[in-house]
Structure 1
Amino acid sequence: MNIDSLKFDEKGLIPAIVQDAKTSEVLMMAYMNQESLEKTLETKTTWFYSRSRQKLWNKGETSGNVQNVVSIDYDCDEDTLLVKVDPTGPSCHTGNYSCFYRNLSGEGNMADRNMLYKLYEIIMDRKKNPKEGSYTQYLFEKGVDKILKKVGEESAETIIAAKNDSKEELVYEASDLLYHLTVLLVECGVTMDDIMKELENRHK
């Protein structure tokens, strides 16, 4: 389909819903004009049009949280885009993974099954962009031996929590274990997709 066939509004804009290509989570919604869409197709990173500043902007230009474009689909009415991306960090300017981190019930987001992917991306971001005082940065600085030691300690604490027959304690310790295990995966260059593919193969 030719870009000219898309239905831009009277201001020359079209809404673009940005979705994580791996987890299918909606990350943000912004507007594109024809120029920003062309630049998105050309650079393979997301470009949008700011209605308030009336200028183009490249996602991650200042934060470093670039969105690498996997595909761009359009809806049946040809007036909305679905941009699937591989994000290199949080998509929201608040630091949240997605701009949609609140709900009308006032209870905050419900836990979702994609949290392990989010955790991986956050830890990867800490490795690429160290922050002073970050515990994750401290682990990476100490290296794999320190990370392995923590994985061992958290494994033992998870076992103790299970033996204590305390669900609350087990949830807490298992979460610590998953965090440290994810740090180990990032340090060793193993992706969450690698793990999911292995589990899928075992299931088959």
Structure 2
Amino acid sequence: MTIDFNKNKDGLVPAIIQDANTKQVLMLGYMNEEAYQKTLDTRLVTFFSRSKNRLWTKGEESGNTLDLVDIKVDCDHDTLLVYAHPNGPTCHKGTDTCWSEKNEPSFGFISSLEHTIHQRKTEANSEKSYVASLFEKGVNKIAQKVGEEAVEVVIEAKDNNDDLFLNESADLLFHYLILLQQKGFQLKDIVKVLENRDKSK
């Protein structure tokens, strides 16, 4: 991997730190060639601190280290993307990220859909919302709907109509997300279970 440490007069390149699992951006630091090499050697993310004017391993005082997973360089060879596993909050102010955001996984549209389902649950206006009406009917009704949609998915899987299969699959996922929230969980909780089963780690 070629990194252009000489592009800037100070010999530093920006290093964007991203959680390897959640994909949340945690912080921005700077590395010189020595900090980069120490990061590779120790597997602990190390920067060149401009304020301290020395190498600085993240967490050397707080214990909130960043375990290196991988490093990529951008197309201009002057910016690094560092994948890491954080041990505790990343920001010195005690927050998960330096932007005061929670370091939680995001599943794009699915996370937005979960937020909408949560809103329907708390609003509980069954006259206007199908989701709210399901929550009012309770776990048995929601579980029944998940079962019905699962059967539909199996039926369509045996056919050759891809549109019907995808639509029934979407219905199953939608009702499963509702069931999860009825039980007090979200998709991230299922992901944790799957991660714990991952024998490749």
What TM-score, normalized to structure 2?
0.53
Q: Measure how far apart 1:192 and its partner are.
A: 5.2
Matches within 5 A, 1:165-204: 193-195=192-194
After TM superposition, what 4+ stretches of structure 1 lie above 4 angstroms from structure 2? 5-8, 162-165
Q: What is residue 89 of structure 1 aligned with on the other side?
A: 88
Would the aligned equivalents of 1:16 and 1:80 in 2 still touch at CA under 8 Å? Answer: yes
Percent of paired sites with the same residue = 41
Give the AA of the match of 1:81: L
Q: Which residue of 2 aligns with 1:78?
A: 77
Matched position secondary structure for 1:194: helix
Higher-Rg structure is 2
| CA–CA distance in structure 2, aligned partners of residues 89 and 42 of structure 1 | 22
Aligned to 2:51: 52
Shift in alpha-carbon separation, 1:35–1:195, aligned structure 2, 3 A:
same
CA–CA distance in structure 1, aligned partners of residues 66 and 96 of structure 2: 12
1:114 corresponds in structure 2 to 105
3-state SS, counterpart of residue 45 of structure 1: coil
1:23 aligns with: 22
Q: Deviations 1:132-174 (Å, cap 9, x if unpaired)?
A: xxxxxxxxxxxxxxxxxxxxxxxxxxxxxx6699xxxxxxxx7
For residue 17 of structure 1, report the CA deviation from its aligned partner: 0.3
Query: Considering only aligned residues, what root-mean-square deviation do their CA atoms show, in Å?
Result: 3.6
Count of aligned pairs: 129
Deviations 1:35-92 (A, max 9, x none): 1111001111100011111111111111111111110001111110000001111110
Gaps of 5+ in 1: 102-108, 116-161, 166-173, 186-190, 199-204
Q: Structure 2 vs 1, CA of residues 112 and 90 (structure 1 numbering), >3 Å: closer, same or farther?
A: closer
* SS of 2:60 mapped into structure 1: coil
Distance in 2, Cα, partners of 1:72 & 1:53: 24
Instruction: Give the direction of change, closer, same or farther, for the CA distance of 1:96–1:164 in structure 2 (3 Å limit).
Output: farther
* Structure 2 partner of 1:134: none
Contact 2:46 2:57 (8 Å CA) reproduced: yes
| Structure-2 separation of matches of 1:45 and 1:112 | 19
| Alignment correspondent of 1:40 | 39
Relative distance call for 1:112 and 1:25 in structure 2 (3 A) is closer
The alignment partner of 1:57 has SS state of strand
CA contact (8 A) 1:7 1:78 kept: no
Look up the equivalent residue of 1:89 and give its one-letter code.
G
- Aligned partners of 1:8 and 1:33 also within 8 Å: no
Q: Against the structure 1 CA distance between its residues 197 and 6, is the aligned structure 2 distance closer, same or farther, given a 3 Å change threshold?
A: same
CA distance, structure 2, for counterparts of residue 113 and residue 53 of structure 1? 31
Deviation at 1:100, TM superposition (A): 1.3
In structure 1, the residue matched to 2:161 is none
Cα shift readout 1:91-110 (whole Å, capped 9, x = no counterpart): 10111111112xxxxxxx5x
What is the TM-score with the length of structure 1 in the denominator? 0.52
